[in-house]
């Protein structure tokens, strides 16, 4: 599952960079009024990056809860 979080993160970075490139150089490709689609593309990329962080955090918490041992209530066994 961690692999999916990294894929979503990489996709989000790529979408953000695409939005930034459209904002900087999109006038020649998309016409004069291109800032709207570039802004939406950047926001979608930021959302994907945020989603990947939540996915990675939930995977990490599941893994750490499986690795922890149940407590004995402060009673030593020796």
Give which of 44, 35, 37 is closest to 15, Cα–Cα.
Answer: 44
Q: Is the pTM of this model over 0.95?
A: no
Residues of the chain with pLDDT under 50: none
Asked if residue 68 lies in contact with residue 14, where contact means CB atoms within 8 angstroms, the answer is: no
Residue 29, pLDDT score: 72
Interatomic CA distance for residues 73 and 24, integer angstroms: 60
Q: The tokens 């900087």 sit on which residue? A: 24
Report the candidate in 2, 20, 18 with the shortest Cα–Cα distance to residue 57.
2
């Amino acid at each position: 599952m961690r692999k999916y979080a990294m894929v979503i993160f990489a996709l989000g970075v790529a979408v953000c960079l695409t939005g930034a490139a459209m904002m900087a150089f999109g006038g020649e490709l998309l016409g004069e009024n291109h800032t709207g689609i570039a802004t939406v593309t950047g926001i979608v990329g930021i959302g994907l990056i945020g989603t990947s962080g939540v996915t990675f955090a939930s995977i990490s918490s599941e893994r750490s809860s499986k690795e922890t041992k149940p407590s004995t209530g402060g009673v030593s066994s020796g």
